[in-house]
Chains A and B, each alone.
Chain A
């Protein structure tokens, strides 16, 4: 075999096996965030407490539906669900309404959501930079909105 080049054997599996979340919880991945939900409903999809919606994807439940900025999605019976007298919000049914892809590992109780297509329309149609949020090496949060008023060059690279 050729000599390893740009390989990182010490990084192949540097992490100890540890639980992703406490038993009975679920984890949602979205836009780089990992959110542990201590309370989820029973069913095929991901049923969350409606009060968790905003911390996950920024949508707010209002009389007219689930809203983010100018976008409001009217609620349907498969999104807002009653179960044993408690109301749940089906994040997976909501994703279907939004055309938002996701991947779930039911065994581990983890749902990973891609970006919401409506949030990217302004980039795809009008070349407006997309919202993003990353943390720099000093621990500062960098958001697209923070760059307004300046020219910015965003370059990707990698160690590999």
Chain B
């Protein structure tokens, strides 16, 4: 989150709006402290029902949409990393992210439609995930499960969250959000097994980043 605050301050354009939405059923208790640590001045949303992901057919975080002054989406559904993250050493070392997204974003804010990073309506429409009726139904099931969880009905919450995962197996959001409520959390062995199956099935959770370095 601090990195997005830095980028927002560097862009410093009154005609640019940054909305960061935490897809977090844990609500303010889970996401609030992380927001606060960044001292953000951009718009912060704690999106307990994953409404933003649902609206744009996102299946993982971080994902993003760029929207121009007319309300047209000009880029969508890319892994929205503002830097390269590296962990571990030697054979255990892993890294992910990119350092080309931030300059591309700044170029678009400065140049608008003249930016080389603006995609045509046809390209964007092709890049929006096509969600089946079952996948849309999964959003309804997830919200129903969340309502039951908020009313202390854990068994029913689990039932409808399991339904959501089954109806939309592409959603990493659903997989990991559910796992936060388990003993081992969202990045344990179960997660690694599920992601192994996910990748083996040929699924992708971001569009390939189509920005040249």
If A12-B181, A13-B149, A158-B23 touch, whether A103 touches B186 (CB-CB below 8 Å) is: no
Q: What is the size category of the interface that chain A forms with chain B?
A: 35 or more
B23: chain A residues within 8 A (beta carbon): 156-158
B98: chain A residues within 8 A (beta carbon): none
* A137 to B33 alpha-carbon distance, docked (Å): 12
A151 touches B185 (CB 8 A): no
Closest A-chain residue to B36, C-beta based? A137
Interchain nearest-CB distance for A10 vs B (Å): 8
Residue among B46, B67, B121, B173 with the highest chain A CB neighbour number at 10 A:
B67
* A25 to B203 alpha-carbon distance, docked (Å): 42
* A6 to B72 alpha-carbon distance, docked (Å): 36
Question: Does A97 touch B at the CB level, under 8 Å?
Answer: no
A34: chain B residues within 8 A (beta carbon): 147
A132 touches B183 (CB 8 A): no
Closest B-chain residue to A140, C-beta based? B43
* A23 to B147 alpha-carbon distance, docked (Å): 17
B16 touches A150 (CB 8 A): yes
Interface size on B, residues (CB 8 A): 94
A136 touches B45 (CB 8 A): yes
Interchain nearest-CB distance for A135 vs B (Å): 7
A4 touches B62 (CB 8 A): no
B67 touches A157 (CB 8 A): no
Question: Does A63 touch B at the CB level, under 8 Å?
Answer: no
Q: Which of B85-93, B151-159, B194-202 contacts A (4 or more CB under 8 A)?
A: B151-159
A11: chain B residues within 8 A (beta carbon): 26, 29-30, 180-181
Interchain nearest-CB distance for B155 vs A (Å): 11
Question: Does A159 touch B at the CB level, under 8 Å?
Answer: yes
The one of B16, B65, B134, B189 that contacts A2, using a Cβ cutoff of 8 Å: B189
* A127 to B67 alpha-carbon distance, docked (Å): 9
* Besides A10-B29, A13-B154, A151-B13, 6 new A-B residue pairs in contact (Cβ under 8 A), listed by A number: A2-B184, A101-B136, A102-B140, A115-B54, A125-B125, A137-B45
